């Protein structure tokens, strides 16, 4: 390890009398030591005190806010301004008013982020499903606790949980809340810490309570039989797969597919989407659909509108005439966030240690936590009952001679001697004597004392019962089960997310609209313009309109169902379908491919390939005389990627590219005037697309290949002169009578 050194930055620059010892010192230390001393405490703090929820289902920020509202009497009282709550919470949560208010918004009913909100809100609290609907400032909104929040604080004043000092040791706050139901699984919770995260989905309250009860009665209970699937506040459909659900319940990790809910208005010919996946927003869905329409991937939609209002969420999609809404929604489910995945990561703090647990383990930990809370509550009540019984037994002794008690008090000269004299006179202890001495004069009658002493029998019965509870685990378990059943009955609600079995879903590929496969002729120009013309239209007019100076480089007779590959001068290939382009006429210039497929700025298409099965080869001829031969199947991908980089080598300028279904000859022309016929069968196939190829033409340093074309019979009078036994070869200078009209050198 390097030795620490200290160097002054300013000692040599300051006058001697101005030098301050230690000023401007730079301490050098290894980066590992810096991380240990500076970053690790921060990381641990974020994990343990900020981002990961604990077994009661809350992060510290949530717990402090709710506890502050509880102490302010907002469980039963009227609403108060959110700003007041935020200000009070800052006494426990030193993270600023903005962070506290965001926490309040998340927990509120108005924001609609929780299945069972804990805060009853009034005013604009925004919406979880919309990024455009922002919440109002805290001075405008009001809040109080929802009735279900009473279950969070039940018996919190009976020593059910531990309390610790707040950040400045002026107040006490609970380390956990004594929740009477497994809130950790009832409301979703997302937290991103340092090096780890937590993402817990929400479950139906009634199902969670029933599952917990069943698990307490039978530790081998089948969780998935009572806890059907997650339940999200936004509703929608959960794509149900029993094996997937069981895997998530077992491991605490996995993905759950959620689909939007929609209906078709036949009269208006539109689709209304009223429930969307919890993981997305209205704006994200609309933006994606608009992009699909602009790119020509979805052609059935004429308009889409965001119609969120007082009635809630609604996205309206206007359809073109004759569109099948079922087919369109199947396509949109596949291409947009209308079907999305909630990634589960059940990471929970257990005794200060983050652990990824399955549902069974989380419920088991909660049962252990709740058992401890109930025992502490019973012990608290038992202690109070014992204390009260002790006092009442003291009163019962006074009952034997009330006049004697009055006489002792009256005849005692000093006040400090009253308690000792009562202790001596009746044989009671100091606590009992103090209690007797404090009885009001109006209560010094036999009726009052008789009423109080009658409680002794009931107290002794209750004490025996509570002692039995503490000794009998089954009785503690029975208390928790009764509380869970009561919570389920009082606050349970029907599922919001319906189940959609995978067997009921038809595959989008099967539903995808069949592409009409009719004959057509494709034209591709040097400037990158593309035309698709039907035979009928071509017969009506065969005179092609072109941009000034442009020429047609490829003409292919094919059908509308084929795929297209456009190779560019940047070593990239773009994929498309013939059907992606509209039918056109010879009298128009056609589609500009670079704009249609989203080329990079300055990128131009140089060659077009039409294929269905990706058979044959691509042959690339480079300026340096090398030729690369690559199977066309190298450009086929399992995913529908529209752009592939590194389509060919860019180490030398591309002269020409050819798609060859089978081997043939290519005629190469060098700047020296020499020509060479190369048979592609003599070229080895390369496995990588970016291969630099093999040297075919022997060139001097000042020369280069300037032209390449597929050889056809009759192009050369004596082709054998240009065929060489081995490569590379220089080729031959053509004689004047050997060149056809189209091959004459400029």
Contact 715, 740 (CB under 8 A): yes
592 a catalytic residue: no
Report d(CA 592, CA 581) in Å as an integer: 10
Cα–Cα dist 682/289, whole Å: 50
Asked whether the beta carbons of 484 and 212 are under 8 A apart, the reply is: yes
The DSSP element (H or E) to which 501 belongs, if any, is strand 498-501
- Spatial distance between the Cα atoms of 480 and 477, rounded to a whole number of angstroms: 5
Helices (H), 149-241: 183-186, 205-217, 223-226
Strand pairing class (519-525; 552-559)? antiparallel
Answer for the pair 341, 259: CB distance below 8 angstroms, yes or no: no
Element (H, E) at 606: strand 605-611
Q: How many helices (H) and strands (E) does the chain have?
A: 20, 34
Are the beta carbons of 194 and 206 closer than 8 angstroms? no
Classify 396 as helix, strand or coil: helix
Answer yes or no: are the C-beta atoms of 523 and 530 closer than 8 Å. Answer: yes
The CA distance from 163 to 589, in Å, is 78
Q: How far apart are CA 428 and CA 639, in angstroms?
A: 88
Phi, psi dihedral angles at 659 (to 5 degrees): -100, 120
CA end-to-end span of the chain: 73
CA angle 182, 347, 97 (to 5 degrees): 80
Identify which of 230, 261, 428, 514 has the alpha carbon closest to the alpha carbon of residue 344.
Answer: 230
The answer to whether the Cα torsion of 336, 338, 343, 349 is positive or negative is positive
Which H/E stretch holds residue 626?
strand 626-631
Q: Tell me if 186 sits within 8 A of 207, measured CB to CB.
A: no
Q: Cis check for the bond before 460: say yes or no (omega within 30 of 0).
A: no
Listing DSSP states for 118-135 in one string gives SEEEES----TT-SS-PP
CA dihedral 601, 603, 608, 609 (to 10 degrees): -80
For 71, phi and psi rounded to 5 degrees? -70, -25
What is the chain's alpha carbon radius of gyration, rounded to the nearest angstrom?
41
Q: Is 649 helix (H, G, I), strand (E, B) or coil?
A: coil
The active-site residue out of 42, 67, 101, 140 is 140
Catalytic residues: 140
């Amino acid at each position: 390890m390097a030795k620490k050194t200290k160097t002054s930055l300013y000692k040599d620059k300051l006058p001697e009398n101005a030098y301050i010892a230690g000023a401007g010192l730079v301490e050098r230390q290894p980066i590992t030591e810096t991380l240990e001393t500076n970053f690790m405490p921060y990381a641990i703090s974020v994990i343990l005190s900020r981002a990961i929820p604990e077994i009661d289902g809350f992060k510290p920020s949530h717990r402090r806010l709710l506890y502050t509202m509880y102490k302010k009497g907002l469980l039963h009282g009227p609403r108060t301004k959110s700003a007041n709550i935020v200000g009070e919470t800052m006494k426990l949560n030193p993270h600023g008013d903005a962070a506290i208010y965001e926490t309040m918004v998340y927990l509120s009913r108005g924001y609609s982020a929780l299945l069972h909100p804990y805060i009853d809100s009034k005013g604009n609290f925004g919406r979880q499903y919309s990024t455009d609907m922002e919440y109002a400032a805290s001075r405008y909104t009001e809040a109080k606790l929802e009735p279900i929040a009473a279950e969070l604080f039940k018996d919190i004043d009976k020593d059910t949980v531990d309390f610790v000092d707040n950040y400045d040791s002026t107040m006490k706050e609970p380390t956990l809340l004594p929740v009477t139901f497994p809130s950790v699984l009832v409301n979703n919770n997302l937290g991103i810490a340092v090096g780890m995260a937590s993402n817990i989905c929400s479950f139906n309250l009634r199902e969670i309570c029933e599952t917990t009860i069943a698990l307490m009665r039978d530790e081998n209970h089948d969780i998935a039989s009572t806890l059907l699937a997650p339940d999200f506040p936004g509703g929608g459909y959960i794509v149900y797969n029993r094996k997937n659900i069981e895997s998530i319940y077992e491991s605490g990790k996995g993905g759950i597919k959620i689909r939007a809910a929609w209906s078709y208005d036949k009269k208006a010919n539109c689709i209304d989407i009223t429930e969307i996946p919890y993981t997305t927003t209205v704006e994200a869905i609309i933006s994606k659909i608009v992009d699909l329409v602009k790119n020509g991937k979805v052609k059935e939609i004429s308009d889409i509108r965001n119609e969120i209002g007082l009635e809630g969420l609604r996205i309206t999609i206007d359809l073109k005439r004759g569109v099948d809404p079922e087919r369109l929604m199947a396509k949109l489910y596949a291409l947009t966030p209308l079907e999305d995945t909630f990634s589960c990561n059940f990471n929970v703090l257990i005794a200060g240690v983050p652990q990824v647990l399955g549902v069974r383990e989380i419920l088991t930990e909660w049962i252990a936590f709740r058992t401890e809370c109930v025992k502490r509550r019973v012990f608290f009540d038992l202690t109070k009952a014992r204390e009260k019984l002790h006092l009442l037994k003291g009163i019962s002794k006074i009952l034997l001679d009330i006049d004697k008690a009055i006489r002792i008090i009256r005849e005692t000269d000093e006040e400090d001697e009253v308690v000792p004299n009562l202790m001596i006179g009746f044989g009671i202890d100091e606590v009992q004597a103090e209690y007797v001495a404090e009885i009001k004069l109006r209560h010094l009658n036999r009726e009052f004392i008789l009423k109080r002493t009658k409680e002794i029998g009931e107290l002794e019965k209750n004490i025996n019962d509570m002692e039995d509870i503490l000794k009998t685990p089954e009785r503690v378990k029975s208390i928790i089960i009764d509380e869970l059943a009561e919570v389920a009955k009082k606050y349970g609600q029907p599922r919001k997310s319906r189940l959609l079995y995978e067997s009921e879903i038809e595959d989008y590929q099967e539903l995808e609209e069949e592409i009409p496969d009719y004959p057509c002729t494709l034209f591709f120009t040097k400037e990158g313009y593309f035309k698709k013309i039907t035979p009928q239209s071509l017969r009506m007019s065969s005179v092609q309109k072109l941009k000034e100076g442009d020429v047609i480089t490829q003409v292919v007779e094919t059908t509308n169902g084929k795929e297209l590959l456009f190779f560019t001068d940047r070593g990239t290939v773009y994929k498309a379908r013939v059907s992606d382009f509209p039918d056109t006429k010879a009298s128009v210039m056609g589609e500009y491919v670079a704009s249609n497929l989203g080329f990079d700025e300055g990128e131009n298409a140089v060659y077009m390939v039409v294929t269905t099965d990706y058979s044959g080869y691509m042959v690339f001829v480079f300026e340096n005389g090398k030729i690369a031969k690559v199977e066309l199947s190298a450009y086929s991908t399992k995913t529908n990627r529209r752009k592939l980089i590194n389509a060919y080598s860019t180490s030398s300028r591309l002269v020409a590219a050819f798609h060859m279904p089978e081997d043939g000859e290519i005629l190469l022309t060098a700047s020296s005037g020499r020509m060479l016929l190369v048979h592609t069968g003599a070229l080895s196939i390369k496995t990588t697309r970016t291969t630099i190829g093999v040297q075919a033409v022997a060139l001097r340093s000042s020369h280069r290949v300037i032209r390449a074309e597929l050889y056809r019979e009759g192009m050369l009078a004596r082709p054998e002169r240009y065929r060489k036994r081995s490569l590379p070869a220089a080729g031959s200078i053509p004689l004047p009578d050997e060149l056809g009209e189209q091959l004459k050198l400029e």
